[in-house]
Each structure stands twice: as structure tokens, then as C-alpha cells.
Amino acid sequence: MYVYILGGFLGSGKTSLLMRLASMYIERKLRVALLVNESGEVGVDGATLKAEGYDAIELPNGCICCSLSGTLQNALRNIKSDIDPDIIIIEPTGLALPHKVKELVRISMIDPDGCFIIGIVDVQRFDDLIKKKGEFFKRQMHGSDFILVNKSDLANPQRLDEIKSWMSSEFPEKPLLSISVKTGENLDKVYEMMK
């Protein structure tokens, strides 16, 4: 069993990527469990996923990297015992710190074969985010095993290069790939990276 954590700021495209990845795994006859966390009292993503034909376990009203850390560990143990999936994909809130989630997976005693963080960057609001919350953004990205620069369809090649260059200078050791969940660009490569 492998665990993937989708880390990225609010609106970066985590839920959309989650659905695309889940579809890819299901097409390959793998059992996938989706765990979705939202900070508000009510969850919207669960309803969205259901409307799109996916079943997801929702953990609303807090953050699984901190205030809901125990809830996350219980949910993981239940998923392991009840479903025993091939893949668990966790979508924390856009305000979570993914490396903390990874640590909680490690100590939850579900013993995955691997646990990886996929960092997701929003091309469109990159400048605003760096300007206003640069340090927090770096903390979100620093535990990533690889980083996806999403919404490439909304940026010209030069702009994409600028962002990738910035990311490479900050995180030189991390593989970087530009994608568009909307158009499907490079999602096959993401799947290969995950395997």
C-alpha cells in the first residue's frame, strides 16, 4: 500500500488532481481510498467528489496536520483494516503543512510501502502568494517528494520558466514538472512518477 499526500495552497488544484489520479488508478484496477480534509465546519469537496462519482472519506472542521491529527490516524487505521486499498490519496486543507501529515502517517502504524508528498503550485496566483505568504508557502513545499506546477494552460512558456526557475532555486533537489489538470497535460508523467 502506498500513501500519497497532495500538498498545496488553497485553490492550487488539489481536488481536481485527486479526481484525475483516482480515475487513473481505478482504470488500472487498483483499489483507491480518498481522504479529504477541509478546515471549515462543513465539507464541500466530499459533495463535489460524490457528484463526480467518487466516494471519499471526509474529515472536516479542522486541519489533519494539527487539530485533527488523531482523527487522521484513526481514519488511516480504519481504512487499512476495512478497505486495505492499494493506494491512499490524502488531500489536506490548503492551509496544512504536508510534512506534518507525512509524519502522522508514519506514526499511525499502517505500515505503508511508501508515503510521498506531491507539492502543487498554482501558476496563476504564484506572485501574490509569494508576496503575502512566502515563508508559509515554502514550508508547505519543503517536504515534497516532487513538485507539480499546475495550471500551465493559464501561463505563457516564459512565465512558466520563471516560476520553475524560482522553485528550482528554492528546492534544487526536488523534481519539478509543469502540468495542467484541466487539459491533462503531463498527467501521464505524474502517474509514472507516482509508480
Please report how close the Cβ of residue 53 comes to other proteins at its closest, in angstroms: 9
Considering the complex, state which of residue 114 and residue 134 has its C-beta at the smaller distance from other proteins: 134
Distance CA 120, CA 142 (A): 11
What lies within 8 Å, CB to CB, of 58 at 6+ separation is: 36, 37, 38, 43, 45, 46
CA dihedral sign of residues 62, 65, 67, 70: positive
Question: Which residue among 22, 34, 37, 38 contacts other proteins (CB under 8 A)?
Answer: 38
Distance CA 17, CA 181 (A): 6
Cell of 15: 481536488
Distance CA 179, CA 97 (A): 22
Please report how close the Cβ of residue 39 comes to other proteins at its closest, in angstroms: 4
Q: x/- site string to other proteins, residues 44 to 73, per CB under 8 A?
A: xx-xx-xxx-------x--x-xxx------
Q: Is 134 in the site for other proteins (CB under 8 A)?
A: no
Question: Which residue among 4, 37, 39, 155 contacts other proteins (CB under 8 A)?
Answer: 39
What lies within 8 Å, CB to CB, of 27 at 6+ separation is: none
Please report how close the Cβ of residue 131 comes to other proteins at its closest, in angstroms: 9
Q: Is 160 in the site for other proteins (CB under 8 A)?
A: no
What lies within 8 Å, CB to CB, of 195 at 6+ separation is: none
Give, as ranges, the residues between 94 and 133 that touch other proteins (CB under 8 A). 94-97, 100, 122, 124-125, 128-129, 132-133
List residues near other proteins by CB under 8 A: 9-11, 38-45, 47-48, 50-52, 60, 63, 65-67, 93-97, 100, 122, 124-125, 128-129, 132-133, 136
